[in-house]
């Protein structure tokens, strides 16, 4: 059992329920088992697998199964239990769970000492049409097959235009993967990017935008800044200029919408990760990941990096809360960097300081190191520095 500062065990075995098997939930799971291998852990998630969402753009190169880790495999590896279900997360339910120290799952009562809510955030849903895709579609089918299928379905075997709406990190990563996929397979299709901001990746330093837009020019990708997506029919995309409100349309065989993620329910937490209801915290109900917002200086960005850090902190604090001392650690994590992939051989990001921009092969190496670190965590090897 690994050493955990300020933790003197008060119980030999805790009953822990984790609601959500995303980045935060899995980080918490591995942290529990590192410091209390005998813990009785139940993971509640409606899906049959943990999905590495930040890798979905790579399914234009690799099978979707490479992004999935079946919960059955984690059950064997870590000795936990997975229940395929979804918990109701209303405030009244949280208060009842704190009182009863139990939740009802599929008609059965599941008792716990601690409950961790780590349900993440939902992708903003696109309108449903055969030639409109969003991130949810890529969770169900690999990018390469999905793109070919939709283009063939609408008879666009020759020249076609594919529109990508959303110039944030997800949209940019998909845009470049699609560009390289089209070139590798000799497909005659043009790409355009629609973005409501003046520049791509406008949440980052302008150096990001300069680098990315130069690569877009090299790949002959059309860019429409200050433009809002309004819809797509069988052959055209409908747009609106943000400043003037002027509406227009352009030829488009397919639209891919990456309009961001939004927590279905946002849980306020104190600095230690305990859920707040009004002015009081719930001692035995914690939260982590994209669904949580902490009353502390720590990063609340909707990224896998922050989700992992919140999950690990919540697990450490649950163990400490159950211990003899009961001293808890505040959430103070600051993002250490961020890298955006620009296809198989290029990337741009920052490291340590947001103005310390790296690009090309150095950025790609950093990205691969971060991904390898998380893959190790899935095997039970924790290389994260607290």
130 membership: H or E segment, kind and range: none
Contacting residues for 329 by C-beta, under 8 A, at least 6 apart:
6, 272, 313, 316, 317, 320
Tell me, yes or no, whether 19 and 56 share the same domain.
Answer: yes
Tell me, yes or no, whether 99 and 189 share the same domain.
Answer: no
Looking at the predicted structure, is the pLDDT value of residue 157 above 60? no
State residue 198's pLDDT score: 95
At 123-144, the pLDDT tens digits run 666 667 788 999 999 999 999 9
Residue 156 in any domain: the answer is: yes
At 99-114, the pLDDT tens digits run 999 999 988 899 999 9
| DSSP letter, residue 304 | H
Question: Any idea of the CA torsion for 258, 55, 155, 249, to the nearest 10 degrees?
Answer: 20
Looking at the predicted structure, is the pLDDT value of residue 278 above 70? yes
Residue 91 in any domain: the answer is: yes
The candidate with the shortest Cα–Cα distance to 49, out of 32, 61, 66, is: 66
State residue 217's pLDDT score: 97
Looking at the predicted structure, is the pLDDT value of residue 21 above 70? yes
Domain coverage including residue 237 = 123-261
Tell me, yes or no, whether 232 and 143 share the same domain.
Answer: yes
Tell me, yes or no, whether 287 and 325 share the same domain.
Answer: yes
State residue 154's pLDDT score: 62
Calculate the average pLDDT of the chain: 92
Tell me the pLDDT band of 239, cut-offs 50, 70 and 90. Answer: very high
Tokens representing 8? Answer: 């003197």
Specify whether the CB–CB gap between 256 and 126 falls below 8 A.
Answer: no
| 258-282 mean pLDDT | 89
Q: How many helices (H) and strands (E) does the chain have?
A: 9, 25
Domain end, chosen from 334, 365, 380, is at 334
Q: What 3-state DSSP class applies to 232?
A: strand
At 45-94, the pLDDT tens digits run 999 999 999 999 999 999 999 999 999 999 999 999 999 999 988 889 99
The upper half-sphere exposure of residue 352, i.e. CA atoms within 13 Å in the direction of its Cβ, equals 2
Highest mean pLDDT among 41-50, 87-96, 293-302, 348-357: 41-50
CATH number, residue 239 = 3.50.50.60
Q: Which residue has the higher pLDDT, 19 or 383?
A: 19
H helices present in 54-205, as ranges: 71-78, 91-100, 135-140, 143-153, 169-184
Q: Which residue has the higher pLDDT, 309 or 121?
A: 309
Looking at the predicted structure, is the pLDDT value of residue 259 above 90? no
Tell me, yes or no, whether 249 and 158 share the same domain.
Answer: yes
State residue 191's pLDDT score: 96
């Amino acid at each position: 059992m690994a050493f955990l500062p300020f933790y003197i065990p008060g119980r030999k075995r805790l009953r822990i329920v984790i609601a959500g098997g995303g980045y935060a939930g899995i980080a918490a799971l591995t942290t529990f088992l590192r410091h209390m291998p005998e813990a009785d852990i139940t993971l509640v998630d409606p899906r049959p697998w943990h999905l590495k969402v930040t890798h979905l753009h790579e399914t234009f190169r690799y099978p979707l199964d490479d992004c999935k880790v079946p919960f059955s495999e984690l059950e064997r590896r870590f000795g936990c239990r997975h229940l395929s279900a979804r918990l109701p997360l209303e405030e009244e339910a949280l208060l009842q769970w704190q009182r009863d120290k139990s939740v009802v799952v599929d008609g059965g009562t599941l008792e716990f000492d601690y409950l961790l809510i780590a349900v993440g955030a939902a992708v903003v849903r696109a309108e449903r049409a055969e030639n409109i895709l969003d991130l949810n579609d890529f969770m169900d089918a690999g990018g390469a097959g999905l793109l070919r299928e939709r283009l063939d379905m609408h008879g666009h075997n020759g020249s076609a235009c594919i529109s990508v709406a959303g110039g944030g990190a997800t949209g940019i990563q998909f845009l470049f993967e699609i560009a390289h996929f089209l070139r590798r397979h000799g497909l005659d299709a043009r790409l355009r990017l629609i973005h409501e901001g003046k520049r791509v990746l406008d949440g980052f330093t302008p150096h990001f935008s300069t680098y990315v837009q130069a690569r877009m020019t090299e790949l002959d990708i059309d860019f429409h800044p200050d433009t809002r997506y309004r819809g797509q029919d069988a052959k055209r995309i409908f747009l609106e200029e943000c400043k003037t409100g002027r509406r227009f349309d352009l030829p488009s065989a397919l639209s891919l919408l990456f309009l961001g993620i939004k927590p279905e329910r946002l849980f306020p937490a104190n600095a230690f990760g305990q859920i707040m209801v009004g002015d009081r915290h719930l001692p035995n109900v914690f939260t982590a990941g994209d669904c949580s917002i902490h009353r502390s200086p720590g990063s609340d960005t909707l990224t896998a990096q922050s989700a992992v850090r919140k999950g690990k902190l919540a697990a450490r604090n649950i163990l400490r809360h159950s211990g003899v001392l009961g001293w808890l650690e505040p959430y103070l994590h600051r993002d250490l960097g961020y890298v955006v992939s620009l296809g198989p051989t290029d990337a741009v990001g920052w490291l340590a300081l947001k103005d310390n921009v790296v690009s090309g092969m150095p950025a790609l190496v950093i990205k691969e190191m971060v991904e390898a670190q998380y893959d190790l965590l899935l095997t039970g090897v924790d290389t994260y520095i607290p």
